């Protein structure tokens, strides 16, 4: 579907009102003070915003008009690509919120702060449906954390600003207004996104959308554009949803949503006419799961849910969101209409069965890409995951490349290398990626060396520390 690029109007930071009380010209000091307070506010928030760079194996390319705002960068090795996104700190201990699609399938996550500090991150938990993930970093000091705001109080026209790392060029801020609310771009059954004309580009994914008090009211996630860049139509996950999902991920490791076991759809004008309703309202039940809370409460196919716990809901997405957010064990009263008659239906919320939810939402386990370097060495390698370093005995600041397998009868096997060894250096150059090991081997071969030197931390150690291993090269085959 073609989308015409909208023309962006000038952003007005304040309205000037001239009042004549003994003076013929109003003082500009007020406008200057407003500008100064905004810049001071933004500077104070920048330490909470981070760049997130990830490495993935053969990620899928977006094909639809609605695409994620994560920006690809140059690939450091074959079949592996690097991407950048954004995030923000929510806990001084090092907990960071970003989009799920930023860290999806990533085998390496690096977090860069506004002061240039770089730390390795680990994805703790995530939700594909909500497009949110939690990344943890280990810092040697408490981090500056952002504060959640109330997205439910937003109105169209409110001023907001987005912070993130568009196209990987560095931390940037863009200002705009709330252009629309409750937008459904069909990313999930729960969509109610904030639309903004604050510039959101590829790389802004996962960054915060702030209100003018400096509170996070949204998580930047999507753009609609006929080009690769912003066309003034960006979307953010409301903080009301993001905060709920993040709290669930922190508490349970998954969303743990409330559940009643029904399938519903919005009553359209056509459905209302067919049912003899005066106007379209509520959500009609199209399926009731056996043994679910709805079935136990007496809900039936064809019932129209008009109100949920006293709230009149705009559409099925609003109903599903309210059900998901209701604490498990609470009893909620539904107002239901069937054949023109209304009745009250009390229903006790249960937890969505974990096995069913995992089938819909559980993040895919990432398999780290492996690189097999020349057959004469017989080594298969993988990047080290952050949580493996302590288990392998690597000291703080020490990094390397994990040996995942050693070919039988290879020179590496003959010299005692085994799966679980860690290569720290090749020809006295530190290595952190399999591609760097490959480059070191290639350089030694190009220099006509018969051997390549590697500093190896053995899996099994008779004495502490690493050792140097010289592996024979097949120079004739290189």
Q: Which of 413, 414, 412, 402 lies closest to 457, judged by CA? A: 402
Examine the residue annotation and report whether 101 is marked as an active-site residue of this protein.
yes
Q: Are strands 451-457 and 262-266 parallel, antiparallel or unpaired?
A: unpaired
Alpha helices in 402-468 (DSSP H): 411-414, 434-446
Radius of gyration of the chain (CA): 28
Please state, in angstroms and rounded to a whole number, the distance separating the CA atoms of residues 69 and 219: 11
CA distances in angstroms from 395 to 15, 135, 373, 465, listed in the order given: 57, 22, 26, 10
- Among the options 127, 131, 172, 179, which is catalytic? 131
Examine the residue annotation and report whether 131 is marked as an active-site residue of this protein.
yes
Three-class DSSP category at 307: strand
- Among the options 205, 231, 412, 439, which is catalytic? 205
Please state, in angstroms and rounded to a whole number, the distance separating the CA atoms of residues 378 and 447: 20
Q: Tokens representing 155?
A: 């109105």
Residue 177 phi/psi, 5° resolution?
Answer: -130, 170
- Among the options 68, 101, 221, 256, which is catalytic? 101
Q: Tokens representing 272?
A: 């209302």
Beta bridge partner(s), residue 308: 311, 334
Examine the residue annotation and report whether 205 is marked as an active-site residue of this protein.
yes
Q: Which helix (H) or strand (E) holds 405?
A: strand 401-406
Catalytic residues: 101, 131, 205
């Amino acid at each position: 579907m073609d989308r015409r690029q909208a023309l962006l109007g000038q952003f007005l930071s304040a309205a000037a009102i001239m009042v004549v009380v003994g003076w013929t010209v109003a003082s500009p000091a007020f406008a200057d003070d407003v500008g100064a307070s905004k810049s001071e506010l933004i500077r104070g928030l920048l330490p909470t915003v981070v760049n997130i760079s990830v490495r993935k194996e053969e990620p899928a390319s977006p094909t639809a008009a609605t695409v994620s705002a994560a920006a690809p960068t140059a690939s450091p090795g074959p079949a592996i690509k690097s991407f950048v996104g954004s995030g923000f700190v929510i806990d001084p201990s090092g907990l960071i919120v970003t989009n799920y699609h930023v860290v999806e399938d990533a085998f390496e996550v690096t977090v860069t702060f506004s002061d240039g500090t770089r730390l390795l991150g680990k994805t703790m938990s995530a939700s594909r449906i909500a497009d949110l993930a939690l990344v943890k970093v280990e810092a040697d000091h408490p981090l500056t954390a952002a504060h959640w705001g109330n997205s439910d109080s937003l109105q169209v026209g409110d001023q907001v600003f987005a912070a993130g790392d568009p196209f990987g060029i560095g931390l940037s801020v863009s200002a705009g207004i709330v252009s629309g609310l409750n937008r459904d771009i069909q990313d999930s059954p729960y969509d109610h996104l904030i639309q903004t004309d604050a510039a959101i580009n590829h790389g802004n994914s996962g960054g915060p959308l702030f209100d003018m008090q400096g509170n996070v009211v949204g998580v930047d996630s999507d753009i609609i554009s006929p080009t690769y860049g912003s066309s003034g139509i960006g979307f953010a996950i409301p903080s009301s949803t993001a905060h709920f999902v993040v709290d669930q991920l922190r508490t349970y490791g998954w969303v743990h949503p409330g559940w009643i076991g029904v399938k519903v759809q919005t009553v359209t004008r056509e459905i209302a006419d067919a049912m003899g309703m005066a106007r379209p309202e509520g959500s009609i039940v199209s399926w009731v799961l056996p043994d679910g809370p709805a079935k136990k409460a007496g809900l039936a196919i064809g019932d129209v849910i008009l109100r949920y716990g006293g709230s009149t809901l705009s559409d099925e997405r609003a109903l599903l969101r309210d059900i998901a957010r209701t604490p498990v064990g609470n009893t909620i009263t539904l107002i239901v209409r069937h054949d023109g008659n209304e009745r009250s239906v009390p229903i006790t919320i249960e937890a969505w069965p974990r096995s069913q939810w995992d089938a819909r939402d559980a993040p895919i386990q990432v398999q780290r890409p492996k690189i097999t370097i020349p057959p004469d060495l017989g080594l298969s390698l993988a990047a080290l995951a952050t949580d493996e370093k302590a288990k392998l005995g690597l000291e703080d600041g020490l990094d390397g490349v994990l040996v995942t397998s050693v070919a039988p009868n290879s020179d590496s096997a003959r010299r005692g290398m085994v799966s679980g060894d860690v290569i720290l250096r090749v020809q006295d150059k530190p290595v952190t990626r399999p591609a760097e090991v490959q480059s070191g081997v290639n350089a030694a071969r190009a220099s006509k060396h018969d051997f390549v030197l590697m500093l190896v931390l053995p899996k099994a150690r008779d004495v502490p520390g690493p050792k140097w291993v010289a592996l024979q090269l097949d120079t004739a085959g290189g």
